Amino acid sequence: MTSLPISLTVNGHRHELEVDPRVTLLDLLRERLDLTGTKKGCDRGQCGACTVLVDGKRINSCLALALSHDGAEVLTIEGVAHGEELHPVQAAFISHDGFQCGFCTPGQIMSTLGLIAEGQAGNDPERIREGLSGNICRCAAYGGIVEAVLEAQEQLAKANRRTAA
Amino acid sequence: MRDFDYIRPTSIPDAIAAAAEPGSAYLAGGTNLLDLMKGGVTSPERIVDISRLPELNRTERLDDGGLRIGALVRNADLAHDAAFAKDYSAVAEALLSGASAQLRNAATVGGNLLQRTRCSYFYDTASACNKRVSGAGCAALGGENRLHAVLGWSDACIATHPSDFCVPLVALDAVVEIEGTRGRRHVTLEEFHRLPGAAPQRENALEPGDLIVAVRLPAEAASFAANARYLKVRERTSYAFAVVSAAAALVVDDGKIRAARLALGGVAAKPWRARAAEAVLLGADANEATFASAANAALADASPSGDNAFKIELARRIVVRALMSAQAGTPERLPALPASPFSSIPGARHDA
């Protein structure tokens, strides 16, 4: 099969590419765009390490054909910080030890951004755990992750109040 | 993954014409299909990407009071649609008890109906599987089969259907709207999925090229809104398929059951409508004794297909729990752990 054209906006940068139809969004990000922050864990939709936001929604990039997302806006872990300034979710993961080895962390953070945007969990730890159950952490840093999400939500709410005022 | 042609038709007729060619497969959310393709379980020669077809991503109220859900509506969008979740709470609860948030953002209504079994021998291409290769035999019979079917199975296949969504849908008389090379037709969800018999490779009523365009809920489905629940036993708290699940919906008036719906998941090759149990419930007093009789009726024809006799008793208990939970009333807000027996459910005993 010959390659087909695709246009993707990744972290604000537009890319015009030719891709084999078999290429997943995950492989395109890592192998073609050298954005290796998005991790390939199971590659079968079971671990969540490959989580990115596509048009604002979190999905498993390993179970998405790149061609199927022609024209989409993608946000990966590389696009989350503002220059040298960490996003509040990133900062909270550090201050609460929300990781150990760090392999699942990009997926955890992207999933957290999706969770906060969905607005379903509030500050209920049980709803946060349930909302992040698609992200496996084999170091079992789950306690720190939930604390990080709670704090990040609080920081973001404060920042929003400042903006509103 | 095997090489394939990729096409993205812009109309339903073009999609159907393309998919009617042998070796074709529709792609929507891709959450099941890409997994199967990576494992070599299925190897389509042509992918027909329908994910952007117009018209299929809307939910609309019908003139007769029913609801028509487009086949491409995402699981998460449907479950979080406030009006939908209010009228069909058990369906929303089932959706939110399935998979993960990431998968629910991608997975579609139509694709959920068509997801393949999670039988590990079906996934393992080195094992015999009649569903994957007709006539090859069934490695699950006599294999690791504690999670396999206890109703409607055959010597050719003991796999279960993995859907949560389909369980309340079949209880509520959902209808599948299908468009094919010969026009549009409606098939009840109860008739849509097939039992394995001697031909487990035929899983549903679709013919080559057939496209699910919508799922309809009849007007009556909303009449259970105040007393409907979905309960699901899993081997871990979240992000797992059902060992056994049940959708229960009641209309109770002055202590008497005026209408009742019951369906089971994780027990058969299709979402299992328990009509014999509904007959027991109808007109009876709404109490635990009645629910236990209904549970016995629901599992009367059950038999183990291997090391899974425990699922029969587990199913009886989850039926009683689901009915008690439905009687206690649909919660204002879904619990933090949707469908979990470990959530606090008013009126339901955790040791039932």
From residue B349, alpha-carbon distances to A127, B14, B98, B323, B324 in Å are 22, 53, 23, 12, 9
Please give the structure tokens belonging to residue B184: 């549009």
Task: Look at residue A57 and tell me whether its pLDDT is greater than 70.
Answer: yes
Q: What distance in Å separates the CA atoms of residue A78 and residue A152, rounded to the nearest whole number?
A: 18
Sheet holding B5-7, edge to edge: B5-7, B46-49, B24-27
Asked if A60's CB is within 8 angstroms of B31's CB, the reply is yes
Q: Among candidates B297, B261, B305, which has minimal Cα distance to B277?
A: B297
User: Does domain A88-164 sit in CATH 1.10.150.120?
Assistant: yes
Predicted local distance difference test score (pLDDT) of residue B352: 43
Is B81 exposed, middle or buried (CB count within 10 Å of its CB: 0-12, 13-18, 19+)? middle
Task: Look at residue B218 and tell me whether its pLDDT is greater than 80.
Answer: yes
Predicted local distance difference test score (pLDDT) of residue B345: 52
Predicted local distance difference test score (pLDDT) of residue A165: 73
Task: Look at residue B169 and tell me whether its pLDDT is greater than 90.
Answer: yes
Q: Rounded mean pLDDT of B13-31?
A: 98
Predicted local distance difference test score (pLDDT) of residue A83: 94
pLDDT tens column, A14-32: 999 999 999 999 999 999 9
Q: Rounded mean pLDDT of A123-140?
A: 97
Residue with tokens 């201050």: A95
Please report which confidence band the pLDDT of residue B22 belongs to, taking 50, 70 and 90 as the band edges: very high
Cβ contacts from A onto B, under 8 A: 96
What CATH code would you report for A4-79? Answer: 3.10.20.30
Residue B345: CB atoms within 10 A of its CB come to 19
Please report which confidence band the pLDDT of residue B276 belongs to, taking 50, 70 and 90 as the band edges: very high
Task: Look at residue B350 and tell me whether its pLDDT is greater than 70.
Answer: no
Q: What distance in Å separates the CA atoms of residue A23 and residue A60, rounded to the nearest whole number?
A: 14
**Residue B153 backbone phi and psi in degrees, to 5:** -85, 165
Task: Look at residue B25 and tell me whether its pLDDT is greater than 90.
Answer: yes
Q: Rounded mean pLDDT of B141-168?
A: 98
Asked if B336's CB is within 8 angstroms of A68's CB, the reply is no
Q: Which helix (H) or strand (E) holds A8?
A: strand A4-10
Q: Rounded mean pLDDT of A27-53?
A: 98
Per domain, the residue ranges of chain B are 5-52, 224-328
A-contacting residues in B 70-109 (Cβ below 8 Å): 76, 80, 99-103, 105-106
A21 touches chain B (CB under 8 A): yes
What CATH code would you report for B224-328? Answer: 3.30.390.50
In contact, A134 and A123? CB cutoff 8 Å:
no
Q: Rounded mean pLDDT of B62-89?
A: 97
Class of domain B5-52: alpha beta
Please report which confidence band the pLDDT of residue B54 belongs to, taking 50, 70 and 90 as the band edges: confident
In contact, B160 and B147? CB cutoff 8 Å:
yes
Task: Look at residue A55 and tell me whether its pLDDT is greater than 70.
Answer: yes
Sheet holding B272-273, edge to edge: B228-233, B244-253, B256-265, B272-273
Q: What distance in Å separates the CA atoms of residue B271 and residue B265, rounded to the nearest whole number?
A: 5
* Most B CBs within 10 Å, among A42, A65, A142, A146, to test the B interface: A65
In contact, B87 and B222? CB cutoff 8 Å:
yes
Q: Rounded mean pLDDT of B57-86?
A: 97
How many residues does the structure list for chain A?
165
Residues in Cβ contact with B92 at an 8 Å cutoff, skipping those fewer than 6 apart: B78, B79, B80, B84, B85, B334
Is B60 exposed, middle or buried (CB count within 10 Å of its CB: 0-12, 13-18, 19+)? exposed
Q: Looking at CA atoms only, how far is residue A165 from chain B in angstroms?
A: 30
Secondary structure letter of residue A30 according to DSSP: I
Is B237 exposed, middle or buried (CB count within 10 Å of its CB: 0-12, 13-18, 19+)? middle
Q: What distance in Å separates the CA atoms of residue B326 and residue B348, rounded to the nearest whole number?
A: 9
Predicted local distance difference test score (pLDDT) of residue B346: 53
Task: Look at residue B198 and tell me whether its pLDDT is greater than 60.
Answer: yes
Q: What distance in Å separates the CA atoms of residue B133 and residue B125, rounded to the nearest whole number?
A: 10
Task: Look at residue B347 and tell me whether its pLDDT is greater than 80.
Answer: no
* Chain B residues touching A131 at Cβ < 8 A: 101
Residue B48: CB atoms within 10 A of its CB come to 26
Per domain, the residue ranges of chain A are 4-79, 88-164
pLDDT, averaged across chain B: 96
Predicted local distance difference test score (pLDDT) of residue B349: 52
Please report which confidence band the pLDDT of residue A162 belongs to, taking 50, 70 and 90 as the band edges: confident
